[in-house]
Structure 1
Amino acid sequence: MNKLVLKRLLSYTKPYRGFLVLALLCAVISVALSLLVPVLIGDAVDLIIGPGQVDFDGLPMILWWLAGCILGSSLFQWLMSYCTNVITYRTVKDLRIQLFNKLSAVPLKFIDQTAHGNIINRVVNDIDQVSDGLLQGFTQLFTGVVTILGTLLFMLFADPLITLVVVVLTPLSLFVASFIAKNSYKHFRNQTVTQGELTGYIEEMIGNQKLVKGFGYEERAEEKFGTINEKLYGQGQKAQFYSSLSNPCTRFVNAVVYAAVGIIGAVSAIYGRLTVGQISMFLSYANQYTKPFNEITGIVTQLQSAFASAQRVFAVLDEQPEIPDAPQALRKTSCEGRVELSDVSFSYDPERPLIENLNLLVHPGNRIAIVGPTGCGKTTLINLLMRFYDVSEGAISVDGTDIRNITRDSLRGSYGMVLQESWLFSGTVRDNIAYGKPDATDEEVKAAAKAAHAHGFIRRLPNGYDTVIAEDGGNLSQGQRQLLCIARVMLVDPPMLILDEATSNIDTRTELYVQEAFQRMMEGRTSFIVAHRLSTIKNADTILVMDKGHIIEQGNHRELLQKQGFYYRLYNSQFAASEDAS
């Protein structure tokens, strides 16, 4: 699994092969110069035989070469680090862009069914882990491999016997690294999954803190958080236990190699095969040879965590994208507003049918109100009209064309939608109103705000239309946020409207003004109105009463009251008491 993840990660570095080659070249030069240092030091030691036996004529030249090698090695080491940084951060930038673009392409079903905090964790934390792993991996890979091969080559030319001893002891380091990597990976993978679960829960609790406090859920929230956190602690402890073995184990192996080289070198010096300077050179090489193993096993923790995070990122990238527009899909530039649903069936879960055999014909300019109990399929019907979800059976057509044969952008551009849950982004009031029409003039923005009865409160803001709104409109009331969302739709002036509880968060007086604005706006436009407050839909041309995914009653307000059916009971449950009182 790690090999597949690594191979896929490395495929993202292809555009930066030039930096890859340069980094490898710099690593070779840097390591080669650093390997010359022990040779020069050994030569210098051999020129200092004892008191009164120092070759002062030969030493200066060696010292100059020594300084040059150290400076050169440091320079190329810096250049290699620069190249690996460029490769890593540009690769991660591309990966994060691809992931974000993928989130825009996946079906809405994936977003609905995945904890938002978990998604955020993958885009931010998991990719940061990948970044750290790649950076460490590239740096240690280039210098480590070149150092190992270069050291063996230098030692082989100097003394094959000692080189053989070092090579024989090498598998011990490889065995230790393999054991640690194998046992730590699964724990780091579990740790990363739990981190996503914890992030999702935190995002859920913080985003709904008013409800948490309102229902006295604090202690239960803390208890559940503690459970997830304890689970994360256990998995992290196991992962860190195995990864912490790397340093002492590799140091032990290094000590064995160093001791073996020292003993054999001393015996060789006794028999005159090596000089004292050559022994010092071999001891330096022993350290340089084992150091990469120590460093590589030291970053096993980082690499395993990076691989686990990369798997979570790739899991999103491998999600099936939204069904693309048909090759011959029509791009609507105008819309009459004739909508027809023919034998439409849909369910989020195949085991639990929701909408079955729904038929509906809406003529241009009709105002269609949709009412019914919670869970009857009102919002689902809106999702199908906007093609956020595709029907399971049947077809929906606009102006006689199946919406699956219309591009999604142009279909959704034909609707103006105001939802119960308002959404604003961090930016000026003007930018938020002009979200659907960025090139709108100031006069158009103000006209839309006036139509939505938002102009008055906007003028009272510190900087008027230039007032910066906090994230999700945190510095505005719920009603003010809703008015801005209504103004946003009024500015776009779409041929069809969807109003899903559009005035639910507005006071009664303002609602009357906004309803008047909506009435003017709906003139000549096909409109779908989802409402629980039946007073807002009395003027609808047709009222659809839905229950369990079926239209059980259909007609205008007066006709439905005369039938004295479901709508009659629903209406009386809201207004009978107040009418009797009056």
Structure 2
Amino acid sequence: MTPANSSEKPSTTNTEPSNFVLIGRMMMLGWKYRWGCVRLLALQGLLLLTAIACLRLTGLGIDVVRFHAVPGAPPPSFPWWVQLFQTKSPMAQVAVIAAMVLVFELVRGALNYIYTLSAGYLVHARIVVDLRSAVYEKMQQLSFGFFDSNATGSIINRVTSDVQSVRAFVDGVLIQLVILLISLVGYVSYMSSIHVGLTVACLATTPLMWVVTAIFSYLTRPAYDRNRVLVDEVILNLAEYVQGVQVIKGFGREREEVKRFEHANREVQQQQHGIFWMVSLFGPSIGYMTQINLVILLAYGGWLVTQNQLALGSGLVVFAGLLQQFSSQVANLTNIANSVQQSLSGARRVFEVLDTPSSVRESDHPIDLPQVRGKIELANVSFAYPTGGTVLRNLDLVIEPGERIAILGATGSGKSSLLSLIARFYDPTTGTVLIDGHDARNLGLKQLRRQIGIVFQETFLFSNTVAANIAYGHPDATMDDVIRAAQVAAAHEFIVNLPNGYQTILGEGGFDLSGGQRQRLAIARAVLLDPAILLLDDPAAAIDPHTEHEILDAMQQAMEGRTTIVVAHRLSTLRSCDAVIVLDDGEIVQRGTHDSLFLEEGHYRDAATAQLSQASLLH
């Protein structure tokens, strides 16, 4: 299996899917929920029939009154479904017609209520929930490269706002468009049955409406795409404020941050103003063209009534009602066209996530390695992040099972990147990482990582109990297992002094604990897995000198029998390891024990001497 070196950043314009492709995929999404959509369309069909029935009854009522009030007026034409209730008394006829109108309106109200509930359930309880879960699940499958290439604001916006935009296609475009077509066909058919010539005259402006709609869609698409980017910036500003509130307040930068957020927010406002201007211009334009149809109706239709070629009620009045309904449906093109552009912008970003291949892929036929011994080999390994230059160059390294290796190096020398390759957060650009003689890319990811205990440089804890945080990688662990892991990590003593001991619920990120306490919980979390390999990214960095000895003693117990790689700078940690590797600019420049390296000229002796000098000054 070859490594995937491509960035997980969403595709650029070179590979950007066309609008037709996006619309096709969103239509497939509608097909997935087809029975819910069919239910909504059936309800709309019934609503259309009841609306036409009410119009027909209203026109009939006018014809009945005119026939009995105006001498020489043409007799009304009763449809078959009204003839069943026909009586000889004029007032009784009008009363029956009025009663039937009320019944149909009650039915319409009930159908509208059912339609609203059904649409809400389909859209918000199914489509949004399923799509958001699919995007979140896909993000869990993507490797670190995706998160390196995408800002926090963009990721959050894709799971929230963009998903809403995609679902808007189903209820705001797909369903509404089918409803529009069904309604237009129904209204045009009925109008044609009344008078073909009048229908053709009144609908003469309709093709122009479609042209204006196409132009509107073409002009607004770039604006909606830009709007997504600007909203990402607003969310990113908010996320950075929440994460960096201590730094902001510590340096008294609250006013500047407010201005920064206001600037980002104002850019969204100004950009949306341009969209609103186009929408506001488009809506009245469509409305104006529909009003022209009414002018034609009054002129031509009125002349037909005077010539007794068209009935007043069941002809002109019903036609006017149908034309008004037709015009309102055509005017709905404004909302549909607007929803299409919003949906396309959101869909492009949602499908980019769903289509992004993970640069760290599971092998089609992973090797089953139930028990890892812990031998690690790096064969001519080089690595570069998708967003930056090469950080590791031509590394050759063999670590035997149970061996404890310390890594020393300046910031940016590639220490954390080396650990990330072993845990297969990334794949090497060239070369191979072997675990027990097997290419790490041929091992099952989940199985491999359960054999590796990791303590990251920056400890993250969840808003849960202390026990749940320790057992995060092994949720089935017993309380005794959790306590043992905490004791190994020298965390048990401070945990039992917390308000509720192991059941104390930590605040967001665990920031109600000290840095050393958080680090010890992270160590306990790694140890609980009983892994064959321990990767420790400077575990003593946040530990005060008083606690350091206790932590190191605990770590000696944790390292026993395990292959351990520890990024370290303190001599106390370096001395306790079997060997020390010195990295400089991504290359191994020295390797040996503390004693042997201290006798050599080079980076290690310089760092050790500086640390000893500092310690002597402190004493």
Q: TM-score per shorter chain, which class? A: over 0.9
Kindly indicate whether the alpha-carbon contact (under 8 Å) linking 1:24 and 1:80 is maintained by their aligned counterparts in 2. no
Please say if 1:417 is aligned against 2:434: no
For residue 183 of structure 1, the aligned residue among 216, 219, 237 is: 219
Aligned match of 1:27: 44
Whole-Å separation in 2 of the counterparts to 1:149 and 1:94: 34
Whole-Å separation in 1 of the counterparts to 2:479 and 2:151: 39
Q: Quick one: which amino acid aligns to residue 444 of structure 2? A: T
Say which is worse superposed, 464-473 or 31-40, in terms of deviation. 464-473
For residue 300 of structure 1, the aligned residue among 333, 337, 357 is: 337
Alignment of 1:166-315 (within 5 A): 166-218=202-254, 221-222=257-258, 224-277=260-313, 278-315=315-352
Alignment of 1:270-419 (within 5 A): 270-277=306-313, 278-348=315-385, 352-419=389-456
> Cα 1:460–1:268, aligned 2, differ >3 Å: closer, same or farther?
same
Whole-Å separation in 1 of the counterparts to 2:365 and 2:20: 41
Kindly indicate whether the alpha-carbon contact (under 8 Å) linking 2:41 and 2:175 is maintained by their aligned counterparts in 1. no
Report the 3-state secondary structure (helix = DSSP H, G, I; strand = E; otherwise coil) of the residue aligned with 1:469.
coil
Report the 3-state secondary structure (helix = DSSP H, G, I; strand = E; otherwise coil) of the residue aligned with 1:397.
strand
For residue 110 of structure 2, the aligned residue among 66, 75, 79 is: 75
Q: Quick one: which amino acid aligns to residue 346 of structure 2? A: S
Report the 3-state secondary structure (helix = DSSP H, G, I; strand = E; otherwise coil) of the residue aligned with 2:203.
helix
Q: Quick one: which amino acid aligns to residue 307 of structure 2? A: Y
Aligned match of 2:61: 44
Report the 3-state secondary structure (helix = DSSP H, G, I; strand = E; otherwise coil) of the residue aligned with 1:558.
helix
Kindly indicate whether the alpha-carbon contact (under 8 Å) linking 2:198 and 2:301 is maintained by their aligned counterparts in 1. yes
Please say if 1:9 is aligned against 2:26: yes
For residue 467 of structure 2, the aligned residue among 414, 427, 430 is: 430
> Cα 1:83–1:412, aligned 2, differ >3 Å: closer, same or farther?
same
Aligned match of 2:92: 57
> Cα 1:282–1:413, aligned 2, differ >3 Å: closer, same or farther?
same
Please say if 1:441 is aligned against 2:458: no
Whole-Å separation in 2 of the counterparts to 1:541 and 1:392: 29
> Percent identity, aligned pairs only?
31
Q: Quick one: which amino acid aligns to residue 196 of structure 1? A: D
Say which is worse superposed, 135-144 or 173-182, in terms of deviation. 135-144
Report the Cα offset of residue 580 of structure 1: 5.9
Say which is worse superposed, 562-571 or 9-18, in terms of deviation. 9-18
Q: Quick one: which amino acid aligns to residue 385 of structure 1? A: I
Report the Cα offset of residue 458 of structure 1: 2.1
Report the Cα offset of residue 119 of structure 1: 0.5
Whole-Å separation in 2 of the counterparts to 1:350 and 1:57: 82
Q: Cα deviations across residues 530-565 of structure 1 (Å, max 9, x unaligned)?
A: 012233221110000110111111111111111132
Whole-Å separation in 2 of the counterparts to 1:544 and 1:408: 27
> Cα 1:425–1:144, aligned 2, differ >3 Å: closer, same or farther?
same
Q: Cα deviations across residues 44-66 of structure 1 (Å, max 9, x unaligned)?
A: 01121389679112112212322
CA RMSD for the aligned pairs? 2.2
Report the Cα offset of residue 172 of structure 1: 2.9
Kindly indicate whether the alpha-carbon contact (under 8 Å) linking 1:185 and 1:239 is maintained by their aligned counterparts in 2. no
Say which is worse superposed, 373-382 or 508-517, in terms of deviation. 508-517
Report the Cα offset of residue 522 of structure 1: 0.7
> Cα 1:188–1:351, aligned 2, differ >3 Å: closer, same or farther?
closer
Report the Cα offset of residue 520 of structure 1: 0.9
Whole-Å separation in 1 of the counterparts to 2:190 and 2:227: 43
Report the 3-state secondary structure (helix = DSSP H, G, I; strand = E; otherwise coil) of the residue aligned with 2:377.
strand
Kindly indicate whether the alpha-carbon contact (under 8 Å) linking 2:68 and 2:90 is maintained by their aligned counterparts in 1. no
Please say if 1:455 is aligned against 2:472: no
Whole-Å separation in 2 of the counterparts to 1:350 and 1:266: 72
Whole-Å separation in 2 of the counterparts to 1:581 and 1:102: 52
Q: Quick one: which amino acid aligns to residue 409 of structure 2? A: G
Report the 3-state secondary structure (helix = DSSP H, G, I; strand = E; otherwise coil) of the residue aligned with 2:406.
strand
Report the Cα offset of residue 318 of structure 1: 2.0
Aligned match of 1:534: 571
Report the 3-state secondary structure (helix = DSSP H, G, I; strand = E; otherwise coil) of the residue aligned with 1:56.
helix
Kindly indicate whether the alpha-carbon contact (under 8 Å) linking 1:85 and 1:135 is maintained by their aligned counterparts in 2. no
Whole-Å separation in 1 of the counterparts to 2:511 and 2:316: 71
Q: Cα deviations across residues 279-331 of structure 1 (Å, max 9, x unaligned)?
A: 21111111111001112313433332222111111122221223433233213
Report the Cα offset of residue 258 of structure 1: 1.4
Whole-Å separation in 2 of the counterparts to 1:142 and 1:351: 49
Say which is worse superposed, 340-349 or 559-568, in terms of deviation. 340-349
Say which is worse superposed, 251-260 or 196-205, in terms of deviation. 196-205
Report the 3-state secondary structure (helix = DSSP H, G, I; strand = E; otherwise coil) of the residue aligned with 2:413.
coil
Whole-Å separation in 1 of the counterparts to 2:271 and 2:388: 36
Whole-Å separation in 1 of the counterparts to 2:316 and 2:385: 75
Q: Quick one: which amino acid aligns to residue 41 of structure 1? A: T
Please say if 1:494 is aligned against 2:531: yes
Please say if 1:94 is aligned against 2:111: no
Please say if 1:474 is aligned against 2:511: yes
Report the Cα offset of residue 461 of structure 1: 2.3
Report the Cα offset of residue 160 of structure 1: 1.2
Say which is worse superposed, 455-464 or 276-285, in terms of deviation. 455-464
Say which is worse superposed, 418-427 or 68-77, in terms of deviation. 68-77
Please say if 1:152 is aligned against 2:188: yes
Whole-Å separation in 2 of the counterparts to 1:352 and 1:131: 40
Kindly indicate whether the alpha-carbon contact (under 8 Å) linking 2:451 and 2:529 is maintained by their aligned counterparts in 1. no
Kindly indicate whether the alpha-carbon contact (under 8 Å) linking 1:27 and 1:142 is maintained by their aligned counterparts in 2. no
Report the 3-state secondary structure (helix = DSSP H, G, I; strand = E; otherwise coil) of the residue aligned with 2:378.
strand
Report the Cα offset of residue 227 of structure 1: 4.3
Q: Quick one: which amino acid aligns to residue 18 of structure 1? A: W
For residue 120 of structure 2, the aligned residue among 58, 81, 85 is: 85
The answer for unaligned runs of 5 or more in structure 1 is: none
Report the 3-state secondary structure (helix = DSSP H, G, I; strand = E; otherwise coil) of the residue aligned with 1:97.
helix
Kindly indicate whether the alpha-carbon contact (under 8 Å) linking 2:580 and 2:594 is maintained by their aligned counterparts in 1. yes
Report the Cα offset of residue 362 of structure 1: 1.0
> Cα 1:334–1:448, aligned 2, differ >3 Å: closer, same or farther?
same
Whole-Å separation in 2 of the counterparts to 1:139 and 1:385: 50
Please say if 1:18 is aligned against 2:35: yes
Kindly indicate whether the alpha-carbon contact (under 8 Å) linking 2:37 and 2:175 is maintained by their aligned counterparts in 1. no
Counting matched residue pairs gives 582
Say which is worse superposed, 412-421 or 177-186, in terms of deviation. 177-186
Q: Quick one: which amino acid aligns to residue 58 of structure 2? A: I
Aligned match of 1:112: 148
Report the 3-state secondary structure (helix = DSSP H, G, I; strand = E; otherwise coil) of the residue aligned with 1:563.
coil
Whole-Å separation in 2 of the counterparts to 1:186 and 1:570: 55
Kindly indicate whether the alpha-carbon contact (under 8 Å) linking 2:142 and 2:358 is maintained by their aligned counterparts in 1. yes
Whole-Å separation in 1 of the counterparts to 2:445 and 2:172: 43
For residue 141 of structure 1, the aligned residue among 168, 177, 198 is: 177
For residue 160 of structure 2, the aligned residue among 101, 124, 127 is: 124
Whole-Å separation in 1 of the counterparts to 2:490 and 2:396: 37
Whole-Å separation in 1 of the counterparts to 2:570 and 2:188: 82
Kindly indicate whether the alpha-carbon contact (under 8 Å) linking 1:180 and 1:245 is maintained by their aligned counterparts in 2. no
Q: Quick one: which amino acid aligns to residue 65 of structure 2? A: I
> Cα 1:413–1:514, aligned 2, differ >3 Å: closer, same or farther?
same
Say which is worse superposed, 220-229 or 365-374, in terms of deviation. 220-229
Q: Cα deviations across residues 311-359 of structure 1 (Å, max 9, x unaligned)?
A: 1111222212234332332132112211111211222259833322211
The answer for unaligned runs of 5 or more in structure 2 is: 1-17, 71-88
